[in-house]
Amino acid sequence: MECTINWLPGSGMAFLAETGSGHVLTMDGAPDGGGRNLAPRPMETVLAGTGGCTAYDVVLILKRGRHDVRGCQVKLQAQRAETDPKVFTKIHMHFVVSGRELPEAAIDRAIRMSHEKYCSASAMLAKTAEMTTSFEIVAD
CA torsion through residues 120, 24, 87, 129, sign = negative
Q: Given this model, what pLDDT does residue 121 score?
A: 97
**Mean pLDDT of the region 67-73:** 98
Give the pLDDT band (50/70/90) at residue 15. Answer: very high
Question: Would the pLDDT of 127 be above 90?
Answer: yes
134 C-beta neighbours (distance < 10 Å), count: 11
Q: How confident is the model at residue 3, as a pLDDT?
A: 97
3-state secondary structure of 30: coil
Report all structural domains of the chain as residue ranges with CATH numbers, in order of start: 3-33 (no CATH), 42-139 (3.30.300.20)
How does pLDDT run across 2-11, given as a tens digit for each residue? 999 999 999 9
Q: Apex CA 70: angle with CA 49 and CA 118, to 5°?
A: 40
The confidence score (pLDDT) of residue 75 equals 98
Q: Is 140 a residue whose pLDDT tops 90? A: no
pLDDT at 63 (0 to 100): 98
**What is the value of pTM for the model shown?**
0.93
- Rounded Cα distance, 95 and 47, in Å: 15
Name the burial class of residue 28, with classes exposed (0-12), middle (13-18) and buried (19+) by CB atoms within 10 angstroms of its CB: buried
- Please spell the DSSP secondary structure of 55-86, one letter per residue: HHHHHHHHHHTT-EEEEEEEEEEEEE-SSSS-
- Cα–Cα distance measured from residue 67 to residue 72, given in angstroms and rounded to the nearest whole number: 13
Give every CB contact of residue 62 below 8 A, 6+ residues apart in sequence.
69, 97, 99, 102, 106, 107, 110
Express as a percent the part of the chain with pLDDT over 70: 100
User: Mean pLDDT across the chain, nearest whole number?
Assistant: 97
